[in-house]
Amino acid sequence: MSWLTLSIHADASYAEALSEALLEHGALSVDMLDADADTPDEQAIFGEPGEPTSAVWQHNLINALFTEEASVANALQAACNSLGISPVPAHKIETLEESDWVRLTQAQFDPIRISQRLWIVPTWHTPTDPTAINIALDPGLAFGTGSHPTTRLCLRWLDNNLRGGETILDYGCGSGILAIAAMKLGAGSAVGVDVDTQAVQASRDNATANQVLADFHLPEGAALTQYDVVVANILTNPLRALAPLLAGATKSGGRIVLSGVLGEQAEEVMRIYAQWFDMQPAITEDGWACLSGIKK
Protein backbone atom coordinates (compact mmCIF):
# COMPACT_ATOMS: atom_id res chain seq x y z
CA MET A 1 0.00 0.00 0.00
CA SER A 2 1.20 3.51 -0.82
CA TRP A 3 0.60 6.72 1.08
CA LEU A 4 0.48 10.40 0.16
CA THR A 5 2.50 13.01 2.03
CA LEU A 6 1.78 16.73 2.15
CA SER A 7 4.52 19.22 3.13
CA ILE A 8 3.63 22.85 3.84
CA HIS A 9 5.66 25.85 4.97
CA ALA A 10 3.61 27.82 7.49
CA ASP A 11 4.34 30.72 9.83
CA ALA A 12 3.50 30.78 13.52
CA SER A 13 0.22 32.67 13.09
CA TYR A 14 -1.64 29.64 11.73
CA ALA A 15 0.67 26.59 11.79
CA GLU A 16 -0.92 24.87 14.78
CA ALA A 17 -4.49 25.61 13.67
CA LEU A 18 -3.74 24.35 10.15
CA SER A 19 -2.27 21.13 11.54
CA GLU A 20 -5.47 20.49 13.50
CA ALA A 21 -7.65 21.39 10.50
CA LEU A 22 -5.78 18.90 8.31
CA LEU A 23 -6.54 16.15 10.82
CA GLU A 24 -10.22 17.16 10.72
CA HIS A 25 -10.17 16.89 6.92
CA GLY A 26 -8.68 13.43 6.57
CA ALA A 27 -4.98 13.47 7.47
CA LEU A 28 -3.90 10.31 9.29
CA SER A 29 -1.12 12.10 11.13
CA VAL A 30 0.50 15.53 11.21
CA ASP A 31 3.81 16.73 12.61
CA MET A 32 5.58 20.09 12.73
CA LEU A 33 9.30 20.81 12.47
CA ASP A 34 11.39 23.96 12.68
CA ALA A 35 11.83 25.07 9.05
CA ASP A 36 14.97 26.95 10.15
CA ALA A 37 16.64 23.94 11.81
CA ASP A 38 20.44 23.80 11.45
CA THR A 39 20.63 27.49 10.49
CA PRO A 40 21.44 30.59 12.57
CA ASP A 41 17.66 31.19 12.79
CA GLU A 42 17.00 27.85 14.52
CA GLN A 43 14.60 28.52 17.40
CA ALA A 44 14.29 26.85 20.80
CA ILE A 45 10.65 26.65 21.95
CA PHE A 46 10.92 24.49 25.06
CA GLY A 47 11.25 27.23 27.66
CA GLU A 48 14.95 27.29 28.52
CA PRO A 49 15.62 29.75 31.37
CA GLY A 50 15.73 33.27 29.99
CA GLU A 51 14.10 32.28 26.72
CA PRO A 52 10.50 33.20 25.78
CA THR A 53 8.26 30.18 25.40
CA SER A 54 6.19 29.44 22.31
CA ALA A 55 3.99 26.59 21.20
CA VAL A 56 5.38 26.64 17.66
CA TRP A 57 8.37 27.89 15.73
CA GLN A 58 8.34 31.15 13.81
CA HIS A 59 8.69 29.24 10.54
CA ASN A 60 7.20 25.75 10.51
CA LEU A 61 7.32 22.77 8.18
CA ILE A 62 4.07 20.82 8.46
CA ASN A 63 4.10 17.20 7.25
CA ALA A 64 0.77 15.36 6.88
CA LEU A 65 0.13 11.74 5.90
CA PHE A 66 -2.90 10.61 3.86
CA THR A 67 -4.14 7.35 2.34
CA GLU A 68 -3.39 6.88 -1.36
CA GLU A 69 -7.11 7.33 -2.20
CA ALA A 70 -7.36 10.73 -0.49
CA SER A 71 -7.75 13.97 -2.42
CA VAL A 72 -4.95 15.79 -0.65
CA ALA A 73 -5.34 19.04 -2.57
CA ASN A 74 -9.04 19.18 -1.68
CA ALA A 75 -8.28 18.42 1.97
CA LEU A 76 -5.72 21.22 2.09
CA GLN A 77 -8.13 23.65 0.40
CA ALA A 78 -10.91 22.73 2.84
CA ALA A 79 -8.60 23.13 5.83
CA CYS A 80 -7.48 26.54 4.62
CA ASN A 81 -11.07 27.61 3.90
CA SER A 82 -12.12 26.67 7.43
CA LEU A 83 -9.46 29.01 8.80
CA GLY A 84 -9.82 31.80 6.27
CA ILE A 85 -6.31 31.22 4.90
CA SER A 86 -5.95 32.56 1.36
CA PRO A 87 -4.17 31.82 -0.85
CA VAL A 88 -3.28 28.22 -0.04
CA PRO A 89 0.33 28.14 1.27
CA ALA A 90 3.14 26.74 -0.85
CA HIS A 91 3.12 22.97 -0.54
CA LYS A 92 4.30 19.69 -2.02
CA ILE A 93 2.44 16.37 -2.42
CA GLU A 94 4.44 13.16 -2.86
CA THR A 95 3.80 9.41 -2.95
CA LEU A 96 5.32 7.33 -0.17
CA GLU A 97 5.68 3.64 -1.03
CA GLU A 98 5.01 0.91 1.50
CA SER A 99 8.21 -0.28 3.18
CA ASP A 100 9.48 -2.15 6.18
CA TRP A 101 9.82 1.07 8.19
CA VAL A 102 11.43 -0.54 11.21
CA ARG A 103 14.16 -2.14 9.10
CA LEU A 104 14.68 1.04 7.07
CA THR A 105 14.94 3.16 10.20
CA GLN A 106 17.41 0.79 11.80
CA ALA A 107 19.48 0.75 8.61
CA GLN A 108 20.11 4.49 9.02
CA PHE A 109 21.84 3.97 12.37
CA ASP A 110 25.03 1.97 12.31
CA PRO A 111 27.53 1.93 15.19
CA ILE A 112 29.34 5.27 15.39
CA ARG A 113 33.03 5.41 16.25
CA ILE A 114 33.65 8.50 18.36
CA SER A 115 37.30 7.89 19.19
CA GLN A 116 39.88 5.12 19.41
CA ARG A 117 38.11 3.61 22.42
CA LEU A 118 34.55 5.02 22.39
CA TRP A 119 31.61 3.81 20.27
CA ILE A 120 27.85 4.47 20.17
CA VAL A 121 26.04 1.22 19.32
CA PRO A 122 22.28 0.84 18.60
CA THR A 123 20.85 -2.11 20.48
CA TRP A 124 20.11 -4.07 17.29
CA HIS A 125 23.82 -4.13 16.40
CA THR A 126 26.64 -6.23 17.81
CA PRO A 127 29.52 -3.97 18.94
CA THR A 128 32.17 -3.66 16.25
CA ASP A 129 34.86 -3.66 18.95
CA PRO A 130 33.72 -5.57 22.06
CA THR A 131 36.82 -4.36 23.96
CA ALA A 132 35.92 -0.67 23.45
CA ILE A 133 33.74 1.52 25.66
CA ASN A 134 30.41 0.87 23.97
CA ILE A 135 27.37 3.01 24.78
CA ALA A 136 24.10 1.27 23.88
CA LEU A 137 21.76 3.93 22.53
CA ASP A 138 18.83 3.88 20.12
CA PRO A 139 17.39 6.90 18.31
CA GLY A 140 14.33 8.21 20.12
CA LEU A 141 12.42 11.31 21.16
CA ALA A 142 15.40 12.99 22.85
CA PHE A 143 18.34 14.61 21.05
CA GLY A 144 21.71 12.89 21.20
CA THR A 145 22.60 9.67 19.37
CA GLY A 146 26.18 10.54 18.43
CA SER A 147 25.25 11.18 14.80
CA HIS A 148 25.27 14.99 15.11
CA PRO A 149 28.63 16.84 15.06
CA THR A 150 27.85 18.72 18.28
CA THR A 151 27.37 15.47 20.20
CA ARG A 152 30.50 13.91 18.73
CA LEU A 153 32.57 17.00 19.61
CA CYS A 154 31.41 16.89 23.23
CA LEU A 155 32.03 13.15 23.49
CA ARG A 156 35.56 13.54 22.16
CA TRP A 157 36.22 16.36 24.62
CA LEU A 158 35.13 14.12 27.49
CA ASP A 159 37.25 11.26 26.19
CA ASN A 160 40.33 13.47 25.88
CA ASN A 161 39.98 15.39 29.15
CA LEU A 162 38.39 13.28 31.87
CA ARG A 163 40.98 11.84 34.21
CA GLY A 164 38.64 9.99 36.59
CA GLY A 165 36.55 10.91 39.61
CA GLU A 166 35.13 14.20 38.28
CA THR A 167 31.64 15.47 39.10
CA ILE A 168 29.70 16.21 35.89
CA LEU A 169 26.68 18.39 35.08
CA ASP A 170 25.09 17.79 31.66
CA TYR A 171 22.73 20.74 31.16
CA GLY A 172 20.26 20.02 28.35
CA CYS A 173 20.96 16.30 28.62
CA GLY A 174 18.59 15.11 25.85
CA SER A 175 19.13 11.35 25.63
CA GLY A 176 21.63 11.43 28.53
CA ILE A 177 24.44 10.39 26.21
CA LEU A 178 27.05 12.82 27.59
CA ALA A 179 26.40 12.01 31.24
CA ILE A 180 26.39 8.27 30.46
CA ALA A 181 29.62 8.55 28.47
CA ALA A 182 31.24 10.55 31.26
CA MET A 183 30.46 7.80 33.76
CA LYS A 184 31.78 5.09 31.45
CA LEU A 185 34.93 7.20 30.98
CA GLY A 186 35.56 7.27 34.72
CA ALA A 187 33.69 10.26 36.14
CA GLY A 188 32.79 10.00 39.81
CA SER A 189 29.19 11.17 39.43
CA ALA A 190 26.96 12.75 36.79
CA VAL A 191 23.78 14.80 36.89
CA GLY A 192 21.71 15.57 33.81
CA VAL A 193 19.17 18.39 33.53
CA ASP A 194 16.60 18.99 30.80
CA VAL A 195 13.46 21.12 30.46
CA ASP A 196 11.71 18.28 28.57
CA THR A 197 10.15 15.55 30.74
CA GLN A 198 10.48 13.04 27.88
CA ALA A 199 14.20 13.74 27.68
CA VAL A 200 14.59 13.19 31.41
CA GLN A 201 12.78 9.85 31.18
CA ALA A 202 14.76 8.82 28.08
CA SER A 203 18.00 9.64 29.90
CA ARG A 204 17.00 7.54 32.90
CA ASP A 205 16.06 4.63 30.63
CA ASN A 206 19.33 4.89 28.69
CA ALA A 207 21.36 5.01 31.90
CA THR A 208 19.64 1.84 33.10
CA ALA A 209 20.28 0.13 29.76
CA ASN A 210 23.97 1.00 30.07
CA GLN A 211 24.17 -0.05 33.74
CA VAL A 212 25.25 3.47 34.70
CA LEU A 213 24.29 5.34 37.87
CA ALA A 214 23.46 8.94 36.96
CA ASP A 215 20.76 11.34 38.15
CA PHE A 216 18.46 13.12 35.70
CA HIS A 217 16.05 15.91 36.61
CA LEU A 218 14.00 18.82 35.39
CA PRO A 219 15.75 22.13 36.26
CA GLU A 220 13.70 22.65 39.42
CA GLY A 221 14.64 19.20 40.67
CA ALA A 222 18.42 19.61 40.35
CA ALA A 223 20.55 20.30 43.42
CA LEU A 224 22.16 23.74 43.62
CA THR A 225 25.84 22.81 43.77
CA GLN A 226 29.05 23.16 41.76
CA TYR A 227 30.70 20.62 39.47
CA ASP A 228 34.16 19.87 38.14
CA VAL A 229 32.86 19.78 34.56
CA VAL A 230 29.74 21.44 33.16
CA VAL A 231 28.74 20.48 29.62
CA ALA A 232 25.87 22.08 27.67
CA ASN A 233 25.12 20.87 24.15
CA ILE A 234 22.10 23.03 23.33
CA LEU A 235 21.70 26.12 21.11
CA THR A 236 23.37 29.52 20.95
CA ASN A 237 20.42 31.57 22.25
CA PRO A 238 19.94 29.45 25.39
CA LEU A 239 23.71 29.41 25.93
CA ARG A 240 23.68 33.22 25.96
CA ALA A 241 20.87 33.34 28.51
CA LEU A 242 22.24 30.51 30.64
CA ALA A 243 25.80 31.88 30.92
CA PRO A 244 25.50 33.13 34.55
CA LEU A 245 23.75 29.91 35.64
CA LEU A 246 26.30 27.61 33.98
CA ALA A 247 29.22 29.68 35.25
CA GLY A 248 27.81 29.54 38.77
CA ALA A 249 27.50 25.76 38.53
CA THR A 250 31.21 25.36 37.67
CA LYS A 251 33.81 25.07 40.43
CA SER A 252 36.77 27.44 40.49
CA GLY A 253 39.36 25.76 38.29
CA GLY A 254 36.63 23.57 36.81
CA ARG A 255 35.90 23.14 33.10
CA ILE A 256 32.97 24.17 30.91
CA VAL A 257 32.14 22.61 27.53
CA LEU A 258 29.64 24.29 25.21
CA SER A 259 28.26 23.08 21.89
CA GLY A 260 25.25 23.51 19.65
CA VAL A 261 27.03 26.61 18.37
CA LEU A 262 27.50 27.33 14.67
CA GLY A 263 31.07 28.19 13.69
CA GLU A 264 30.21 31.81 12.90
CA GLN A 265 28.61 32.21 16.35
CA ALA A 266 31.60 30.88 18.29
CA GLU A 267 33.43 34.17 18.87
CA GLU A 268 30.35 35.86 20.30
CA VAL A 269 29.63 33.00 22.71
CA MET A 270 33.29 32.88 23.77
CA ARG A 271 33.22 36.62 24.57
CA ILE A 272 30.19 36.14 26.82
CA TYR A 273 31.75 33.24 28.76
CA ALA A 274 35.16 34.96 28.98
CA GLN A 275 33.73 36.92 31.93
CA TRP A 276 34.12 33.77 34.03
CA PHE A 277 36.38 31.44 32.04
CA ASP A 278 39.73 31.38 30.29
CA MET A 279 38.38 30.17 26.97
CA GLN A 280 40.29 27.75 24.76
CA PRO A 281 40.37 27.80 20.92
CA ALA A 282 37.19 26.43 19.38
CA ILE A 283 37.16 22.94 17.86
CA THR A 284 34.94 22.66 14.79
CA GLU A 285 33.35 19.95 12.68
CA ASP A 286 30.96 20.33 9.74
CA GLY A 287 30.28 23.98 10.55
CA TRP A 288 29.61 23.40 14.27
CA ALA A 289 31.85 24.48 17.14
CA CYS A 290 32.70 23.06 20.55
CA LEU A 291 33.94 25.65 23.06
CA SER A 292 35.68 24.98 26.36
CA GLY A 293 37.20 26.99 29.15
CA ILE A 294 38.64 26.88 32.69
CA LYS A 295 36.87 28.75 35.50
CA LYS A 296 38.90 31.71 36.74
Q: What is the pLDDT of residues 98-110, one digit of tens each?
A: 655 545 455 556 8
In a shared domain, residues 131 and 253: yes
Which one of 78, 98, 118 terminates a domain?
98
pLDDT of residue 32: 87
For 81, other C-beta atoms within 10 Å of its C-beta total 13
In a shared domain, residues 144 and 31: no
pLDDT of residue 52: 46
Closest by CA position to 261, among listed 288, 232, 231, 284: 288
- Residue 26 pLDDT > 70: yes
119 contacts: CB under 8 Å, gap ≥ 6: 111, 112, 113, 127, 128, 129, 132, 133, 134, 135
In a shared domain, residues 208 and 225: yes
In a shared domain, residues 43 and 83: yes
- Residue 15 pLDDT > 60: yes
- Residue 232 pLDDT > 80: yes
30-75 pLDDT tens trace: 998 887 776 666 665 444 444 544 456 778 899 999 999 999 999 9
In a shared domain, residues 75 and 155: no
In a shared domain, residues 79 and 211: no
Q: How many CA atoms lie within 13 A of 158 on its CB side?
A: 36
In a shared domain, residues 150 and 232: yes
- Residue 265 pLDDT > 80: yes
Please report the sign of the dihedral spanned by the C-alpha atoms of residue 171, residue 177, residue 180, residue 184: negative
Helix (H, G, I), strand (E, B) or coil at 191: strand
pLDDT of residue 207: 96
DSSP state of 103: H
Under the banding of pLDDT at 50, 70 and 90, the label for residue 287 is very high
B/e letters for 6-39, b = 16+ CB within 10 Å, e = fewer, are bebebeeebbbebbebbeebbbeebebebbeeee
Task: Please compute the mean of the pLDDT values over residues 278-283 and round it to a whole number.
Answer: 96
What is the total residue count of the chain? 296
Q: At what angle do helices 15-24 and 72-83 cross, to 10 degrees?
A: 130
- Residue 156 pLDDT > 80: yes
CATH label of the domain that carries residue 280: 3.40.50.150
Q: Which of 55-69, 112-126, 141-155, 263-277 has the highest mean pLDDT?
A: 263-277
| CB-CB contact of 204 with 176 (8 Å) | yes
CATH label of the domain that carries residue 21: 3.30.70.120
CA distance 228 to 253: 8
Helix (H, G, I), strand (E, B) or coil at 31: strand
Task: Please compute the mean of the pLDDT values over residues 80-86 and round it to a whole number.
Answer: 94
Under the banding of pLDDT at 50, 70 and 90, the label for residue 255 is very high
pTM of the model: 0.68
Comparison of pLDDT for 35 and 114, the residue scoring more: 114
- Residue 126 pLDDT > 90: no
Computed over every residue of the chain, the mean pLDDT equals 88
In a shared domain, residues 35 and 126: no
pLDDT of residue 53: 46
CA distance 144 to 138: 10
In a shared domain, residues 227 and 247: yes
In a shared domain, residues 167 and 262: yes
Percent of the chain having pLDDT more than 70? 87
Mark out the alpha helices in 212-280 (DSSP H runs). 236-248, 266-273
Which one of 65, 98, 131 terminates a domain?
98
CA distance 95 to 257: 44
CA distance 145 to 122: 9
Range(s) of the domain holding residue 242: 106-295
Task: Please compute the mean of the pLDDT values over residues 286-292 and round it to a whole number.
Answer: 96
CA distance 246 to 216: 17
Which one of 66, 98, 130 terminates a domain?
98
In a shared domain, residues 57 and 191: no
Percent of the chain having pLDDT more than 90? 69
Domain count of the fold of the chain: 2
| CB-CB contact of 162 with 146 (8 Å) | no
Task: Please compute the mean of the pLDDT values over residues 13-24 and round it to a whole number.
Answer: 93
Task: Please compute the mean of the pLDDT values over residues 241-260 and round it to a whole number.
Answer: 97
179 contacts: CB under 8 Å, gap ≥ 6: 168, 170, 173, 190, 191, 192, 203, 207, 212, 214, 216
Write phi, then psi, for 168 (nearest 5 degrees): -125, 135
In a shared domain, residues 38 and 122: no
Comparison of pLDDT for 227 and 98, the residue scoring more: 227
CA distance 168 to 42: 27
